[in-house]
Structure 1
């Protein structure tokens, strides 16, 4: 680039130098021609010259060389030459015979150049070659004093040496200016080169082109969002995934702190540390963040080159599907554990009954089976048999009841629960109900005795409604339960639930066209929070309606 700049500057200076020299030469030529014309006019207007030329032209014969030497016209021309520095001043009659000439040998002879224009009454200026060599000459007609008709001419010439005597000075000035321009161009080129090296971090244009192509390929090829900004906080790079996750299309050119994003997201992007809370351990680097209907992880890394800070780069990973699937697997695992416990308990009871029968104690075996049957009818979910007959919901609630019992929390189904249809979207229902129940159990664990969680389930056509209440400490005023996310276990001062399930259930309900809301923040003595959910399109009519319902 430096060589190209120097070549460009040199070419421009050379062109300007040629133009200036050409203009200077043309100006000197014009000045010489103008001076010759002025002198010729002056001599031609002299009364003695006019009278002498008129007499010579009126004479029929040709004047001899001897008669012209030292004549008045020769004296007049010689005096004018001495005063003006002209190369020659020649005076002729109407036949082109020299009446005055610097070389006396040429007197009385015809001039070597044309004189017709002057005899026609016209003045001419030109560069011509004659007996005295090339010169800038002017030819002016000499007019008769009486008739004012052209009767001869005056030719005045200047030698090139006298015309261009100032040319070396002109060329020296132009050469000095050209040298100064070249030196200035070289200095500016070097300064620009160094500045470009600082701005491009020493990369050459070919390397920058390859870097841009590789960057475009990488940014469009990765599935994660990539966001980069300089030390001033202005975004310089953003791929389409980052724009989609953040919900902002025009990211480039905007400041990070000016983006319309939640505070936790801005803090995560800017790499700001979060305020520590009691009972939390570990770093916030792997903290998930709720962003609209996505659960994302944001990793930020500083970017620098030797002795220079280039800014930050953030990688935004969408983990909504992974977290949702994890919660669904946890629900399935909890139901599997509950079924395993029930199977083990059922096997133990069968062993007891078989042992009594093998011992011949059939009445005792009968009494034992009756006691087991009575115990199953008075289970911890008294309404499960009468108010909750849907198989999927019944198994899910029983599994959650077993888990809650292990933590000292009593899970019950309200007596007003009534589900007549069959669940047609078990994954969505399990995600919402299991998360609400898990949050309620966690809140009840930190509440006062008795610790309980109550679930109400009602269906209306294809819509399932649920209400989950607990005996915890409630939701503190101003807590954003649907926006804050914490993966760590809660302490007694933490917000209701663990936080990550609530944004997920809200997302699931929104996709179904329903909603999840906080009906009562609680906080009163023995009363915790109450969450409600409405899930349309998750129920269908039973395959075999109960008698009395088919009219």
Structure 2
């Protein structure tokens, strides 16, 4: 089994969750430390402020010099303890460290325990210290108490919180922080899922690998397509154009594809109708148009995102090439050429007869007519007798006339025969094959300086197949070019498109036939074609 690839949505979700957890893991220790310091500072400020409030209380400042005979200090402190938070004890003592209040009333009158009270007694400072007293280890704030009248220090106040309580407060804050961190992580995970889902929706549910494949397919498709393609966005700026478009519009010597991107289409092609398609949203098919002195046949369609038009696309072909290719494919060109050759030969003969009549050579005119008629009848007899398909017969007769113009003699093999029904082999296919092969043979022979220029032709229909053989004694084909002759665009003829043998090969392949070409340079070429009659 192949390795399972995670989807884009899963990858994004996992990535964001990892980032969130790493961020929380990195920041949590620092935040925890700051929270613990904040709890500590808050408690220190709290107990210091309470100590100052008590030290400034008139009741305390009046009762302390009198040794508090009515226990006013203990009563005041007990009430206060019930109203404050995070305070475990409040002790008011005189300059001899004798307590006048305590959480345990039995310890009133005893000396303050801890040993950290001497700074407040000796220097009158307000400070925070940590020591072990009768209730255990605690953090306590000390502040002096002054007499109302003489402003002389008469004692001190100690407000404390047990270390155990401080640690519990810190733990509580940390627990709250961890809970918030988990809530943040959960929110991050949900956000990651929703974000990844939204991204996938934006990408139309496609995975990165699928997007890459689509891009590669698009590039390959544009390279393979011979039609010109131009696409524009909603602002009529070109977003896509291929090499074929530049070639058809004869602009490949001025621009490269990258130079065309982002240009306004009408700045480059003033007569372009793509902006009109963009405006109306109506598609246009098989429309003729002139752009840069080239007549094209084009299809234009709007590009839509739902109901919204976001651009327009045009595909087009050079009309001249379309017509020429259609003629090649359907065999019309071969028939037209044959008729033209026949017509030309007929006109030449009429001119000869007319000339003889003008100069009064009536007998010579009669002899010429008889000779021409006899020769023509002989050829017609051979072809019509052996070729029962009138279309193919007409094509071959036309090639005879064409050959005569070029000073070439076509020899028809005695085995030549063709019926009217060829089963799965169409007339158009035979026209394409015979017309192109004979034309190439005559072209090759006409280039030689031989006194006698001959092309041999045979078409033989058997029970299960049709064989076509053409032999010429022309210039031949170079051995290195034999592999290229079927390649579209390859030609040795001046002005040729190089589509003839490409069409021949495709026609043969479509009929599951075979072609064999042998050639010797400056001696000639033999072409043999076999076509099975059953599909």
Q: TM-score, normalised by structure 2?
A: 0.44
